[in-house]
Amino acid sequence: MQAIINAQMPYNICCVISNNPNAQGLDFAKKNGIDTCVVNHLDYPDRKSFDQALGNVVEKYEPDLIVLAGFMRILNSDTIARFSEKIINIHPSLLPAFTGLDTHARAIDAGVKIHGCTVHFVSPDLDSGPIVAQAALRIRSNDSPQTLADRILTLEHEILPKSITWILDGRCTMSSGRIIMDSTIFNDTFSFHG
């Protein structure tokens, strides 16, 4: 979330919402003049009522795009349908490999040579929505899950703001569950880290 704010894109970030009242990102957003809201999942008896309350808060802001950045809860299918084709997520692996948690340790344990991150639209199936962008790097022989996570985070901070820009500029759209990219996207550059 901080990387999105720091990117200073020409779009209005209408609100930063967290389910954790102690999330550091809330203070960072406030310091940058962005509305914040907490919908604490512990205040709700079940996932469905939490998702409904979260959706109601999001709906108030009428966002063009909802970005899950560090939001570690799985949204139910009703919430995903409510904001169909408006929710993106960044995942710390090259999907479809290593969905879910502990991606860096799993990549090292599997002996893969390339690892990275993926920006994708959110679908009801975990980490399986249409892919907007991916960035990759080589796994080093001395990488630990933490060193790999730190190196991947640099890539995440680069591709997430670019993906947001492409979507909000209309250069990346979705049709029938497939991503359509304007040819100008391929002129954008990324820095890759070995």
- Establish whether 91 is a catalytic residue: yes
The distance from CA 131 to its chain's CA centroid, rounded to whole angstroms, is 11
From the candidates 41, 91, 104, 193, which is the catalytic residue?
A: 91
Length, in residues, of the chain = 194
Ramachandran bin of 50, using left for φ above 0, alpha for ψ from -120 to 50, beta for the remaining angles: alpha
Determine which helix (DSSP H) or strand (DSSP E) holds 77, and give its type and residue range.
Answer: helix 77-82
Q: Other C-beta atoms within 10 Å of 53: how many?
A: 16
Which residues touch 148 (CB under 8 Å, ≥6 apart)? 104, 107, 108, 115, 139
- Catalytic positions are 91
